[in-house]
Amino acid sequence: MTKLLVDSDKYGEPSASVIVDAYHAAIHDLIRRKLNTVGDDWASFVFDKSYDLITAKDFAAIEKKLLDTGHRFDWSAMISVRERPEAYKPATGVGEDSKDFSFEHPEAVVAAADGQGREQRGIGDNVVKYPANLAGIARYIRSSDRVLELLTSGVPADTVAIIDDSGGTLTAPILEQFKGVICAGGTVRSHLGILTREYGIPCVMNAKISGIKEGDRVEIECTAPAKTAEAYQTGVEMTAKVWRLAK
């Protein structure tokens, strides 16, 4: 049990995240302190005294301490990047903090500008079919720090949020303020897809985009048919276009 609590690479795999490591370390410290208090052997502690000495209040205190650090969204912010790194590859030599940062998905469908000055920069699965397309300003929201910043200063008008994760946990506190969402993960039935549908926010999931930078004007083809469960099951392509607009 002690080994389980302190190993960050159980079964030879890296730990899920720094927040998991911190949680395990806090529990390990709690057990160590309680065991030292009674001064008894391990077996007696585990099968008898631990039920009285370790309480729900102790675990609640650990959870509160971790949440107060501001890292409550770390898991949501990182999991998609780990599972599908090809979907989140930035332009060569461009850091995440640069305004030139952009996702560079190898399967992004790119085309020259059409008669309306719209340059196609990718595709995605449309969540809900709306009567008109949506245009706005692309803003990458990929970390808890960015979410906290926008909670403090407010989400700028016309924000089309570009998000890694399909769970919806990372951006939940500010989701209502988005004009639209482009998510590089998940399906229309993912948590984020469900939330945007409920809030009436146009959204494409499983987006394969390239060359859209922070501050670019973009348009989502949310007039395209919403992708169905049957389409996923049978492998039928039902995609909506994502354009970068002329400035």
User: Both 106 and 220 in a single domain?
Assistant: yes
User: Both 150 and 99 in a single domain?
Assistant: yes
Count of domains observed in the chain: 2
| Residue 176 DSSP one-character state | G
Residue 76 lies in a domain: no
Reference 160, options 183, 176, 177, 138; nearest CA is: 138
User: Both 179 and 234 in a single domain?
Assistant: yes
pLDDT of 216: 96
Residue 184 lies in a domain: yes
The Cα–Cα gap between 50 and 47 comes to: 7
Give the end of a domain, one of 40, 67, 94.
67
pLDDT of 83: 62
User: Both 38 and 104 in a single domain?
Assistant: no
Residue 39 lies in a domain: yes
User: Both 60 and 88 in a single domain?
Assistant: no
Number of residues written out for the chain: 247
The boundaries of the domain holding residue 58 are 2-67
Give the end of a domain, one of 37, 67, 97.
67
pLDDT of 160: 98
Per-residue pLDDT of the chain (247 residues; tens, 9 = 90+): 333 333 444 445 555 556 667 777 888 888 888 878 777 777 777 777 667 778 888 888 887 777 666 555 554 555 566 666 666 666 655 666 666 788 889 899 999 999 999 999 999 999 999 999 999 999 999 888 889 899 999 999 999 999 987 777 789 899 999 999 999 988 998 889 999 999 999 999 999 999 999 999 999 999 999 999 889 888 899 999 999 998 7
- The SS3 call for residue 104 is strand
Residue 77 lies in a domain: no
E strand or H helix at 60:
helix 56-67
The Cα–Cα gap between 148 and 124 comes to: 27
User: Both 47 and 103 in a single domain?
Assistant: no
pLDDT of 124: 96
User: Both 226 and 153 in a single domain?
Assistant: yes
User: Both 111 and 167 in a single domain?
Assistant: yes
User: Both 55 and 110 in a single domain?
Assistant: no
User: Both 125 and 195 in a single domain?
Assistant: yes
User: Both 34 and 137 in a single domain?
Assistant: no
Residue 78 lies in a domain: no
User: Both 132 and 32 in a single domain?
Assistant: no
